[in-house]
Amino acid sequence: MTSQISDSGQFVLGNVRLHRSLTLGLAATFDTDGFALADITVANGRISAIAAHKKSKAPADAIDLAGRIILPCFVDCHTHIDKGHIWPRKPNPDGTFMGALNATGTDRAARWSAEDVAKRMDFSLRSAYAHGTKALRTHLDSVPPQEEISWPVFETMRETWRGRIELQAACLLGIEGVRDTKWFEKLAKRVAAAKGVLGVVTYMVPDLEELLDKVFSEAIKHRLDLDFHADETDDVAAISLKKIAEAALWSGFEGNILVGHCCSLARQPDLDVLDTLDKVAKAGLAVVSLPMCNLYLQDRRADLTTPRWRGVTLLHEMKARGIPVAVASDNTRDPFYAYGDLDMLEVYRMATRILHFDHPVADWPQAVAATPAKVMRLDGFGMLAAGGSADFIIFKGRSWTELLSRPESDRIVVRDGKAIDRQLPDYAELDELMVD
Ligand SMILES: [Zn+2]
């Protein structure tokens, strides 16, 4: 089948399963899992038609997929491909958040040359592409002097990958870095020049409100979207998500704001949670949960006892209030997460288990496609539609239980109407970067 899809500019995929939440304009009867059988016609790299499947009406030369699921290509809105794959040379000594921060800081200062960052980034992008990702936002550690090294690498990488992965970047620094006003203004200017996103990690520092004001005013000045890491801790006193919402309302900010993690929210008293969620909804914030990384780092216990909470934030309560919610990869094979391969099917599978994206599945699949696409301002991404580009993934699974029970390593990724080469890069390629 792969060759049939690769060789012809025009074909019909008949008898496929499409999900209601990720398909536009399909007039069909959807089952309780949200699926309907359909035929997709592809011509010249685009989807020319999506129609309900009727055996009698399917064209004779249609490729019969016997009910296999097709989803649009993934959108991964929160990653760290500048950190990715340093694990072999700099593991996390104890699996804690502080262990991750310190190990990464040491490795960055010693080894993140432009060449080192570029090779690891490219490795990550090849993996993401092979798994079916079409757009990806990475954070870039931007503490001096790294910002001068990593941003030019990102700009080159974005050009190299244009047409395969739409690449975005947000700067990453602890909020205390904003105190150096002159330097932060220079960074915001650099980010704007790269058409990037302004990002910081918020902590409960005494001058948090003042520093957030500065972040918002720089974003307004340069017309930048914002992307925060907030409250990645079990400390109930961590309420920077609320502070970000308040700053957004106070400043009248009109750009997009994405906030990642928000773990402590799940530990706070109900009344406080309700107040925060009201403000988050009113301020129009979007939230991304990073279930795999949170599961790894949160509730890690020094005495080696068993973790007792999942680490994720309150996505169901947020979604019920109309707050756009997504899940994403976060770190891959670095001190913040020892595993991962930028496979958004794995992220969705893990999210289903950790966050209960089931019973009902409803429109949760949007959390890895249409919703992050909107947050990233990517028109037409993360949704199947007639007239849209023919960028989708053909799975073996015919139901959620089949799709999410196996790795689906043999999925077919179609880009611009052609099946791509899905060969994953070999870890051995990175060996030369791992020696002292
Ligand atoms: Zn992150």
Using the predicted structure, report yes or no on whether residue 380 has a pLDDT greater than 70: yes
Give the Cβ contact number of residue 152 at 10 Å.
15
How many angstroms is it from 77 CA to the middle of ligand 1? 10
Q: Tell me whether residue 402 is one of the annotated catalytic residues.
A: no
As a whole number, mean pLDDT of residues 262-283 equals 97
**pLDDT in the model for residue 373:** 98
What pLDDT band is residue 8 in, cutting at 50, 70 and 90? low
Residue 423 burial (10 A CB sphere; 0-12, 13-18, 19+) = exposed
Using the predicted structure, report yes or no on whether residue 277 has a pLDDT greater than 70: yes
How many angstroms is it from 36 CA to the middle of ligand 1? 35
Ligand 1 ion local residues (Cβ < 5 A): 330
How many angstroms is it from 14 CA to the middle of ligand 1? 40
| Residue where the block lists tokens 């992220």 | 347
For 160, the token pair is 């190299």
How many angstroms is it from 79 CA to the middle of ligand 1? 6
How many angstroms is it from 157 CA to the middle of ligand 1? 20
Using the predicted structure, report yes or no on whether residue 281 has a pLDDT greater than 80: yes
As a whole number, mean pLDDT of residues 311-326 equals 98
- Give how far the C-alpha of residue 250 lies from the chain's centroid of Cα atoms, to the nearest Å: 28
List 147, 218, 232, 246, catalytic entry: 232
Cβ atoms of residues 216 and 251 within 8 Å:
yes
Using the predicted structure, report yes or no on whether residue 56 has a pLDDT greater than 70: no
How many angstroms is it from 336 CA to the middle of ligand 1? 9
What does the alpha-carbon distance between residue 40 and residue 51 come to, in Å, rounded to a whole number? Answer: 7
pTM: 0.97
How many angstroms is it from 294 CA to the middle of ligand 1? 10
What pLDDT band is residue 4 in, cutting at 50, 70 and 90? confident
As a whole number, mean pLDDT of residues 71-96 equals 98
**pLDDT in the model for residue 6:** 64
As a whole number, mean pLDDT of residues 214-227 equals 98
